Structures are given as C-alpha cells and as structure tokens.
Amino acid sequence: MPTVHLLDYVAGNIRSLVNAIEKLGYHVEWVRSPEDVPKAEKLILPGVGHFGHCLSQLSQARYLEAIRKHIEQGKPFMGICVGLQALFEGSLEDPGASGLGIIKGSLGRFDDSVKSVPHIGWNSASTGGLPMYDLRPDSKYYYVHTYRFPYSKGELEAQGWTVATGTYGSETFVGAVAKGNVYATQFHPEKSGVAGLRTIRAFLTGEGAASLGKPASGAADGQGTAPAVFSDGLTRRVIACLDVRTNDQGDLVVTKGDQYDVREKSSDRSVRNLGKPVDMARRYYEEGADEVTFLNITSFRDCPVADLPMLEVLRQTSRSVFVPLTIGGGIRDTVDTDGTKVSALEIATMYFKSGADKVSIGSDAVMAAEEYYSLGRKLFGNTAIEQISRAYGNQAVVVSVDPKRVYVPKLDATRHNVVETGYPGPKGETLCWYACTIKGGRETRDMDVVELAQAVEAMGAGELLLNCIDKDGSNSGFDLELIRQVKAAVKIPVIASSGAGNPAHFEQVFQQTTTDAALGAGMFHRGEYTVKQVKDYLREKGLLVRQFED
Ligand code: 1PR
C-alpha cells in the first residue's frame, strides 16, 4: 500500500484525515520528530487552532527547517487550513509569529461588520478554469476559519502560484494555492465529501501536480480566466441532528422528543426508538447533509468518560461520513467512576480523537456564563469553552442553547432581554424573554438567551446551536423571533434548530432571518422528508445549496 506521511504536531482532529487517506487506499505514517521528515516522500501538514500556537509548536520542535527542506527538494507537500496559512509570512491572528514565508503576504481577518465570523460552511474553490488538483467549479468545499488571505488578482500569480478562491459576502479570499510540488487548501478536503476526497487523491497520485499549469480543456490560452467572483459563494447549510440515548433495553438509539420528552405517549412510556446512530448518520450524509450532529442526551446522568458507546459511534461514523461531525452532551469537568478528575478538555480530546470536528457544550456553558457575570465579565481562561477553544480553535466549540419562553405582561416586569411576539402567551401577553435551561431543559436558570450568547462568544465559542424547547418536535417551523434576537446579539454563526417540519420551514428561516445554518431532526428521522428534498426545495427557491456528489 502506498504511504503518505502526516505531521501531527498539535492536537487536532487528525482521524478524519486519516480516514479519508485510508479510504483512498493509502497508508498513513506519522511524523513524530523532525528526523522523520526526510523519510517522507509525500508530506501533509494539517492544522487547526491558532496560527501563532501552530507555528510556535512547529518552530520549537524544529519542524520548520525540515519542512522547508522537504519543499526545496521538490517532494510533494500539502498543507490544510492552518497548514496553508503557515506558508505565508504571518497572520494578524498572532502578529508576533512568523510563518514559513514561502508565499509573500500576511493573512488578515474577515470583516465581521455585516457577516458572521468565523466563516463556516461550504464554499467554492474557483480556479477560473485552470486545472488545479481536480477542484471543480460546481463543487463546494468545507471551510472553517476566521483569518484569510484576500484575493487580489495577479498578486500570488506573479509569485508563480495557481490560485482557487471562495467568496464570502463581499470578500474574495484564497481557498487553495498550488505551485510545483506544493498544494495547500484553506478548506478541509477531508470534510468536503466526495469533492474533498477527489482533491486529496489528486495530491496522492501526483496527477494534481502533473497537470498544474497545463492548458485546461476549454481554456484556449492555458491561462484560464481570473477566478470568478460570485455575489456569495457560501451555501445554505442544512444539518441533520441525532439525539442519542440508551433505551430501556440498554441499546444506543436515535430518539426524538416533543419539547424534550422522548418517551412514547402510550402507557408503557418507552423511549422512542427511531433507528441506529451510525446507519442514520450515513444515510443523511448520502442525502446531502452538510453536517451531522450527535447529541448524547442522557450524559448528565452518566459519567461521560465511561460513555464509550458514543466514542465508538464517532469512530464508525467518521470512517464513511466525510462531512463535519459535532458531538454534544456531557462536555464538562467531571470525576470518573474511579475518582479521577477528568477535565472537559480531556473529554473533548477523546471525542476529537474519535472523529469529532466540534464539541457542543450545553449545561456547562450556562454555569460558566453565570460565573462570568457574577465576576464582573472577567475571564480567567479556566472555563471549558476557553480551554477547548484555545487548544482546538474557536470553530471547534459550539454552544448548544436550550431556551424556553417566559411571557411577561410589560417591559419592566423583568430585567431580561425581551422580544415583542406575534404568538401571545396564555394571558394574551405580547412580550416574552427566553430563559436558558440546563440538564436537557429540566432546570430553568435566571439567564436569558442574549446574556448567554454574549458571554460564550466572549469566552471563545465559535458557533451557537440555538434550540427552542417550545418548538422542539412541533413541526410548526423555527422560532424566528428567537433567532432574530440572538443573531442581533452576536457575531458568531448561529444554527437555527427546533420546529422544522417541512422544506418550506427551511426556506422561511433562511429568507426571514440571517441564520447561518438550519437543523432538522424529527422530520428526517420519521421519514417525512429527506435532506435531499429540503435542498432541492431551497434550490428551486433560488437559494444556493450544496448537492451530494457520488
Ligand atoms: O448539557 O452539555 O450535557 O448537553 C446536553 C445536550 O443534549 C444539549 O445540547 C441539549 O440540547 C441536548 N438534550 C438534552 N436533553 C434533550 C432531550 O430532548 N430530552 N435534546 C436534548 C435536545 C433538541 C435538538 C433537536 C431539535 C430539533 N434536542 O437537538 O434536535 O430541537 O428537533 P426537531 O427538528 O424535531 O424539532 P449538556
């Protein structure tokens, strides 16, 4: 079996990449020290987290020189995400840190004045018709990053680079670069479905490098055209969510509640069993789900460290599902059954090593936010959100919010952030606020959703998974009032969740709010609609979506 060397220098979800490489029939060898680098024929440098952290790790461990030499010798090199960023001279993220300087220029930050940052989701890698590692104009690739190199026509080309671009809002940025033996992608090919596997294959086989700079079919002068500029290359993200728990027979099942009650209404009150987690995740992937989220909804009763079944679910799923996987439930500091203390970071690490790309934190985020306000909005770096985002990057930390409506008769009846609602309360109240809950909605706290969202954003959460207990399982559409309130309060992306009952609900939430993604559960599990039907519907309505590629 042919071999590729992978440089695993910092914590990260390397498993997905290994799975993708193995799926393509290659064997992964690990680079464990700079002395291993010369043994590598093909070298891949993946990267997550902070530019400065990654570069200082590489520098301290004496990898930078070894990488430079590998590239100078003309051996195949591929950088992914921060692995691309490392090729530049520096980044605004950590101005004191130096990159490899193989590409002249420094990265800046996406402008968040009119759009969410990080940039998360499926976007283009448009080569303007030039052949580049089998990147295709109609394909979409999964990006997750805050810093980017802005594309300015001719700048990198003058240095000999072929460039592929994506467009986010009004910003066109570098999505991939290639020159000679070097190929690097800002997107995660290992998380980009078949399109991603294709471009990894082009690197591994050498075909990508061989065809670089050759005339593309249809490009008469071999120069192609400048990368196309789209009004917005980011597609509407549709996520399938699987609530997982052990049923009364001890089997791990996908379940789904109504307002978080997952037991049948019949007299035996058994846990609703809608299928097997790995099989269902695979089905949704094949229908075109842009991400799959698992929520381990009974974790608060068990010790998560002993919760091995979910780790195995992730391992199995990540072998055949090449889109981002999120895992939630029980991500917090805890004490194992033998009395050992286990930090939230260690639990998250176990999940990342098993194939998760993001962890989702629920109850613990509310407790941390309460402390944040009680200490005068000061941060000490010790919360799970801060620790995990420091190690793995903000994009790896989702906060799952479980709010429910509290109606009030007038504005000064509460100190909380209130919305005017078109759905009056039991006494005809037209005002309400959204109270945060913990432990799967069992306990309501004196904190509103705006307070929570702003606190966790300050701590370094990269995204919000915004559920709504009133809407959960109702099939009546998303809570647009809630989504608008939260979107107005934060810059980080928001995933709308709870209430989806048909494809039109997805169109509604995308058209009538600025949500960054929308999530469905019950309607998919019960077989009422497929993910593909939702996406086809959105496309018919003129919204940009990614289609599953065989
Ligand atoms: O508090 O960090 O251990 O995390 C627990 C996690 O489990 C939280 O993310 C919490 O939302 C989730 N959870 C806990 N109990 C339940 C329950 O249902 N009894 N599920 C639960 C949350 C809501 C969504 C659902 C959407 C869409 N489920 O995941 O998928 O509402 O449903 P729909 O499209 O069918 O309406 P911690």
**Residue (of 180, 167, 203) closest to 80 by Cα position:** 203
Per-residue pLDDT of 378-434, as tens digits, reads: 999 999 999 999 888 899 999 999 999 999 999 999 999 999 999 999 999 999 999
How far apart, in Å, do the first and last CA atoms of the chain sit? 25
Cis amide leading into 150 (omega within 30)? no
**297 Cβ inside 6 Å of ligand 1:** yes
* pLDDT score at 155: 97
The CA 335 to ligand 1 mean position distance, Å, reads 23
**SS3 per residue for 218-280:** CCCCCCCCCCCCCCCCCCCEEEEEEEEEECCCCCEEEECCECCECECCCCCCCECCCECHHHH
Q: Is the dihedral of CA 127, 133, 139, 145 positive or negative?
A: negative
* Catalytic annotation, pick one of 5, 50, 93, 190: 190
Q: What is the DSSP letter of 113?
A: S
Can 190 be counted among the known catalytic residues? yes
**Token representation of residue 448:** 């509103």
What are the CA-CA distances from residue 269 to residues 246, 249, 259, 265, 409 (Å)?
14, 13, 15, 6, 36
**Residue (of 465, 527, 471) closest to 500 by Cα position:** 471
Question: Phi and psi dihedrals of 58, rounded to 5?
Answer: -65, -40
81: alpha, beta or left? (left if phi > 0; alpha if psi -120 to 50): left
506: alpha, beta or left? (left if phi > 0; alpha if psi -120 to 50): alpha
Can 188 be counted among the known catalytic residues? yes
* pLDDT score at 12: 66
**Residue (of 43, 16, 12) closest to 30 by Cα position:** 43
* pLDDT score at 547: 86
**Token representation of residue 357:** 């790309």
* pLDDT score at 305: 67
Tens digit of each residue's pLDDT, the chain (550 residues): 899 999 977 656 788 899 999 999 999 999 999 999 999 999 999 987 889 988 998 999 999 999 999 999 999 999 999 999 999 999 999 999 999 999 999 999 999 999 999 999 999 999 999 999 999 999 999 999 999 999 999 999 999 999 999 999 999 999 999 999 999 999 999 999 999 999 999 999 999 999 998 776 544 444 455 544 444 599 999 999 999 998 888 788 999 889 988 888 887 888 888 999 999 999 999 999 999 999 998 754 555 565 568 899 999 999 999 999 999 998 999 888 778 899 999 999 999 999 999 999 999 999 999 999 999 999 999 999 999 998 888 999 999 999 999 999 999 999 999 999 999 999 999 999 999 999 999 999 999 999 999 999 999 999 999 999 999 999 999 999 999 999 999 999 999 999 999 999 999 999 999 999 999 999 999 999 999 999 999 999 999 999 888 8
360 touches 332 (CB < 8 A): no
Which atom of ligand 1 is the closest one to the Cα of 501? 34
Return the residue matching tokens 């407790």.
367
Q: How far apart are CA 452 and CA 427, in angstroms?
A: 27
Q: How far apart are CA 81 and CA 85, in angstroms?
A: 7
> 531-540 and 503-512 are packed helices; what angle lies between their axes, rounded to 10 degrees?
50
* Catalytic annotation, pick one of 93, 243, 287, 479: 243
* pLDDT score at 183: 98
361 touches 399 (CB < 8 A): yes
Can 402 be counted among the known catalytic residues? yes
* Catalytic annotation, pick one of 53, 119, 188, 505: 188
The CA 442 to ligand 1 mean position distance, Å, reads 12
144 touches 167 (CB < 8 A): no
15 touches 353 (CB < 8 A): yes
* Catalytic annotation, pick one of 53, 54, 70, 81: 81
- Mutation test residue for ligand 1: of 255, 271, 293, 295, the one with most atoms within 8 Å of CB: 295
**307 Cβ inside 6 Å of ligand 1:** no
Can 243 be counted among the known catalytic residues? yes
The CA 297 to ligand 1 mean position distance, Å, reads 6
* pLDDT score at 266: 82
Which atom of ligand 1 is the closest one to the Cα of 293? 29
**Token representation of residue 330:** 């029980």
Q: How far apart are CA 335 and CA 342, in angstroms?
A: 6
SS3 category, 216: coil
**177 Cβ inside 6 Å of ligand 1:** no
The secondary structure element, H or E, covering residue 105 is: none
**501 Cβ inside 6 Å of ligand 1:** no
> Which residues, at least 6 apart from 334, have a Cβ–Cβ distance to it below 8 Å?
303, 304, 305, 341, 342, 344, 347
Which atom of ligand 1 is the closest one to the Cα of 296? 7
Pairing of strands 147-148, 162-168: unpaired
**331 Cβ inside 6 Å of ligand 1:** yes
Per-residue pLDDT of 22-64, as tens digits, reads: 999 999 999 999 999 999 999 999 987 889 988 998 999 999 9
Give the CA diameter of the chain.
Answer: 76
**Token representation of residue 222:** 């071999």
| Amino acid sitting at position 108 | G
Per-residue pLDDT of 204-223, as tens digits, reads: 999 999 999 877 654 444 44
The CA 295 to ligand 1 mean position distance, Å, reads 6
Q: How far apart are CA 105 and CA 38, in angstroms?
A: 28
CB atoms within 10 A of CB 341: 9
**330 Cβ inside 6 Å of ligand 1:** yes
